[in-house]
Amino acid sequence: MIACLRRVAYSLFSPLLSVAFPRLCGGCGRRLSSAEKGICVGCRLRLEPFEHSNRLLRQRFSSFISPIDSVYAGYLFTPDSVARAIVHSLKYGHNRAAGIALGRLVACKEGLRKEDFDWLVPIPIHPQKLAERGYNQAYAIALGVHEVTGIPIAKDALRRRQYGTSQTEKHRQERIRAMKDAFTAGPHFPQEGLRLLLVDDVLTTGATLSEAAVVLAKAFPKRLSVLVAAVDM
Ligand SMILES: [Zn+2]
């Protein structure tokens, strides 16, 4: 009965909501068609795939004591890239749907399968930032991966200790220092011997993912991998 009423209410108010709050593409900002979700067809085609995940693993994580086994990387993040526009829309434009769509695209691009992983672990943000933004951008991307693969999301595996400031303008050494001890185990920390896939929006220095991986390594995972939607070049 309640579900039926909800459907009726949605059918009545959905057209009004779409006029008041049009769904916009995270890449170009234009209004999406009813068939498009988060990112328009044109922007999907303009995303530039990142194709060097193994070399990236060696370069970005080599200076950390990092237990990461493999990296799945989505798209190139350069100053004029579509991936940058989508990530900005996700983080600063309240466009959660763009992040979910990006997660779906990366999962398809990398051919992820449920049988290869036990949990997706989104990089957490500080509770104060969560309250300000209304959602965790890494969780939105993980949700897209989950929709495609069915891999469950470990929502509270990690906790963020620091509120922090924007990492965008910091240099490499500042970023590394800023992320030291940034994470701690959450209430649903994984059991030992699982195959975990850490999820984040953008890979820059690797400091954030490395710090989170060090905490997750305390669960002695069978395999610890990383998925990033975009790679800052
Ligand atoms: Zn677009």
pLDDT of residue 216: 93
Quote the pLDDT of residue 59: 80
CA of 193 to the centre of ligand 1 (A): 41
- Ranges 24-38, 55-69, 162-176, 218-232: which has the least confidence: 162-176
Residue 13 has pLDDT above 60, yes or no: no
How many A from CA of 135 to the centre of ligand 1?
A: 22
- pLDDT given for residue 10 in this prediction: 45
| Listed residue (115, 93, 90, 117) closest to 105, CA to CA | 90
Q: How far is the CA of 25 from the centre of ligand 1 (A)?
A: 5
pTM strictly above 0.75:
yes
**What residues sit around ligand 1, an ion, with C-beta below 5 angstroms?**
25, 27-28, 40, 43
DSSP assignments along 129-157, one per residue: HHHHHSS-HHHHHHHHHHHHH---B-TTS
- Quick one: pLDDT at residue 34? 92
H-state helical runs in the chain: 2-20, 41-46, 53-61, 82-92, 96-109, 127-133, 137-149, 172-178, 207-216
Work out the mean pLDDT of the chain and round it to a whole number: 87
Confidence label for 6 from pLDDT (cuts 50, 70 and 90): very low
The pLDDT assigned to 170 comes to: 60
**CA 76–ligand 1 middle distance (angstroms):** 16
Question: How far does CA 31 lie from the centroid of its chain?
Answer: 23
> What are the tens digits of pLDDT across the range 149-196?
999 999 899 999 876 655 555 666 666 666 777 899 999 999 999 999
* Per-residue pLDDT, 176: 64
Q: Is 97 exposed, middle or buried (0-12, 13-18, 19+ CB in 10 A)?
A: buried
Q: What is the mean pLDDT of residues 129-133?
A: 92
233/216: higher pLDDT:
216
Instruction: Tell me the CA–centroid distance for residue 156 and ligand 1, in Å.
Output: 32
